Structure 1
Amino acid sequence: MDKLVSELVANGYITDPRWQAAFSAVPRHLFVPRFYRGDEQGTSIVDSTSGDQWLSAVYSDIHLVTTEDVRSSSTAPSLMAGMLQALELSGDERVLEIGTGTGYNAALLSERLGSGQVVSVDIDPELVAQARSRLDAAGYRPLAVVADGVNGYPDAGPYDAVIATCRLDYVPVAWLQQLQPGGVIVTPLGAGVAVVRKSGPREATGEFLPISAYFMPMRHQPEPAVVGDAIQVALNGIGDSREYRFDASIYRDDEARFWLDLTNPDIRAMTVGGVSVVVRPDGSWARLADGLVVQGGGGAVWDDVEAVHGEWLAAGRPAREHTGWCSVRLVRRSF
């Protein structure tokens, strides 16, 4: 644990000594008793019986899938640190966490603020029960409840801050309503992390952190199994084919991907086995391999992807930290 924290500090991921103390105090291995690793042979379990392989991975700065059905994971500590520090806590705030998951993030907040200042919600009863048990074993007792995070948790509000550990396509108005004036929301939006401050009863302003973030979607959004089925169609479907307008490298450009996610949240983009794939809830799909686009399903979704990439290029390839205006628009769109 000390080695991991030292690396996070040395690499500039932790700059606040109070968060350094919190990461040093909370044992991550209690919250990740096992994780799942996939390869060509399938999925394997790595746990305490795996020897140093388990403990070494737990105390490395990597993302770990913690359920076999990929509905929960433990985020890379460097990303967690960046998001927690963006809350700019002084030590007496009340914080609502959306997405309890393993309980590790709630433990870090509890160490920093005290358990009584932390409320954590998750829509999955099994995950909440496991997290409560792990938190208790580590000596933390925040309020962990089963609830749909899109509604926040008004019974224990108001809050000084909200932090989400799942992907959203907009900032729910309920979160703003449950915030104190001047309160802050730190949440993944698409492939980025937005820091949004409440400036009025139904107003907020903010910006994006200069970091990438690929979280699992909030559970009331498309389920992983549904998205997985769509991906298989995209990989194997027969459709119209043509050459790609741009150099294919733009598709894998992290900032271009961020712009796509931000402006077209219904489009899910990923790379599977070296093939770039996009799917949309309307059933349209597309794939890109060797410079050739194949798309089908009733909608020309790749045409939309190319249009977005063209807009991004015309705008001068803006980095995510220079697109703060988008966070305001997305918050207002949810009203």
Structure 2
Amino acid sequence: MVGELVASGNISDSGWEAAFRAVPRHLFVSRFYRGDANGSAVIDSGAGNEWLAAVYSDTHLVTTEDVRSSSTAPSLMASMLQALELTGNERVLEIGTGTGYNAALLSERLGADQVVSIDIDPGLIVEARERLEAAGYEPLVAVADGVNGYPVAGPYDAVIATCRLDYIPAAWLQQLRPGGVIVTPLGAGVAVLRKTGDGAEGEFLPNPAYFMPLRHQPEPTDIAELIQVALNGTGISRPHRFDTSMYRDDEARFWLDLTQPGVRLVTVDGVALAFRPDGSWARLVDGLVVQGGPGFVWDDVKAAHEGWLSAGRPSRERHRLRVSSAGQDVYLVDSSESRHRLEPLQG
């Protein structure tokens, strides 16, 4: 597996090549789940070569039946780890312990005493500790809400997250040393930021990235309730120009996730629904969009998509991100003008 990652250029750093060769992925993926029309099937060591071949392939594997945790494709893991630009002496905070595999790679590269890994799920933490110990690593692994970082073990030279966010939490910047690096999924991409003063600036990796969202307490408005309101609510109706298919274009979705954070899409009985935590909702059916709640969520999505089209359909490589106490600014490399401001979510 590592040989293929090196040959393809996904691993170019000899230090990370050595770490990937040293850490046995099968200890961290003792089972995984595959879903089909008939439900999910568990694949474990009892499946022999089928299990082992999948574990040592460049494949994203779901490791809990309820999809709470997974093991990211090694090529994407390598890209994110290399983006930290570690020299070997840094202290790193990982947000989202998951299986523990990423923490093991960091421990192999830096030494376990330089690695702190947190997850909000106590069950995942217990299992990850057991796997890490079996592999010979004992980093600090703790139950904590990733939005708050882990101040008692800081400050850190780098923060890496393995879960999707819509904004960069202020706590991460506060616990990061000057010049420190943040590598995190943001929307449908991976942001690489370096701390400057009390803020941070950076760019995005070229890789598309779709991670499970960071779980955070307190929970936003109950999603099941929002879905029912969107399905049955009475609101303002009009013909729509764009439907949810624009989210199937990777570059368009990247822009939309950055400029319309918090918008979530689901399809129920063939009806496309959009909603966001403030309670705004939209229902798209029969060429019409019906909207309700405190805002017009689909109007906002439509305006953002039109902005992307008018900007020439910019790819993710052209985007830059600036984070400060005032919020998040997304802008293009060929423009000094900020295109969109993303205010941090509260809580």
Q: Give the TM bin, normalised by the shorter chain.
A: 0.7 to 0.9
The CA deviation string for residues 5-26 of structure 1, in whole angstroms up to 9 with x for no partner, is 1221222211111111111111
1:114 aligns with 2:111: yes
Counterpart pick for 1:265 among 248, 261, 267: 261
1:231 Cα shift?
A: 5.7
Q: TM-score, normalised by structure 1?
A: 0.88
1:203 Cα shift?
A: 1.9
1:213 aligns with 2:209: yes
Amino acid at match of 1:280: R
1:75 aligns with 2:72: yes
Aligned to 1:95: 92
Whether the 8 Å contact between 1:208 and 1:327 is mirrored in structure 2 is no
The CA deviation string for residues 122-143 of structure 1, in whole angstroms up to 9 with x for no partner, is 1111111100000000011111
Whether the 8 Å contact between 2:163 and 2:214 is mirrored in structure 1 is yes
Whether the 8 Å contact between 2:27 and 2:131 is mirrored in structure 1 is yes
Counterpart pick for 2:246 among 246, 250, 254: 250
Distance in 1 (alpha carbons) for counterparts of 2:180 and 2:149: 14
Amino acid at match of 2:251: E
Counterpart secondary structure, 1:330:
strand
Question: How many aligned residue pairs are there?
Answer: 329
Whether the 8 Å contact between 2:263 and 2:275 is mirrored in structure 1 is yes
Amino acid at match of 2:80: M
Whether the 8 Å contact between 2:243 and 2:284 is mirrored in structure 1 is no
Counterpart pick for 1:330 among 328, 331, 337: 328
Counterpart pick for 1:6 among 3, 22, 30: 3
- 1:190/1:44 Cα in 2 relative to 1: closer, same or farther (>3 Å)? same
Distance in 2 (alpha carbons) for counterparts of 1:34 and 1:224: 31
Whether the 8 Å contact between 2:237 and 2:291 is mirrored in structure 1 is no
Alpha-carbon RMSD across the aligned residues, in angstroms, is 2.8
Whether the 8 Å contact between 2:145 and 2:217 is mirrored in structure 1 is no
Counterpart pick for 1:316 among 282, 289, 312: 312
Counterpart pick for 2:276 among 270, 277, 280: 280
The CA deviation string for residues 75-100 of structure 1, in whole angstroms up to 9 with x for no partner, is 11111111100000011111110111
Q: Which structure: greater helix fraction? A: 1
Counterpart secondary structure, 1:324:
strand
1:17 aligns with 2:17: no
1:155 aligns with 2:152: yes
- 1:317/1:134 Cα in 2 relative to 1: closer, same or farther (>3 Å)? same
Amino acid at match of 2:211: F
1:29 aligns with 2:26: yes
Counterpart pick for 2:124 among 88, 106, 127: 127
Aligned to 1:305: 301
Amino acid at match of 1:266: G
Whether the 8 Å contact between 2:221 and 2:278 is mirrored in structure 1 is no
Amino acid at match of 1:93: E
1:54 Cα shift?
A: 1.6
1:229 Cα shift?
A: 6.8
- 1:146/1:248 Cα in 2 relative to 1: closer, same or farther (>3 Å)? closer
Q: Which moved more, 1:242-251 or 1:168-177?
A: 242-251
Aligned to 2:62: 65
Whether the 8 Å contact between 2:220 and 2:277 is mirrored in structure 1 is no
Counterpart secondary structure, 1:163:
strand
Gaps of 5+ in 1: none
Counterpart pick for 1:146 among 121, 143, 153: 143
Whether the 8 Å contact between 1:237 and 1:296 is mirrored in structure 2 is no
- 1:238/1:174 Cα in 2 relative to 1: closer, same or farther (>3 Å)? closer
Whether the 8 Å contact between 1:238 and 1:294 is mirrored in structure 2 is no
Distance in 2 (alpha carbons) for counterparts of 1:50 and 1:223: 38
Distance in 2 (alpha carbons) for counterparts of 1:222 and 1:214: 23
Distance in 2 (alpha carbons) for counterparts of 1:228 and 1:5: 42
Whether the 8 Å contact between 1:194 and 1:327 is mirrored in structure 2 is no
Whether the 8 Å contact between 1:65 and 1:73 is mirrored in structure 2 is yes
Whether the 8 Å contact between 2:247 and 2:253 is mirrored in structure 1 is yes
Q: TM-score, normalised by structure 2?
A: 0.85
The CA deviation string for residues 30-64 of structure 1, in whole angstroms up to 9 with x for no partner, is 11111122111112211112232222221121211
- 1:293/1:92 Cα in 2 relative to 1: closer, same or farther (>3 Å)? farther
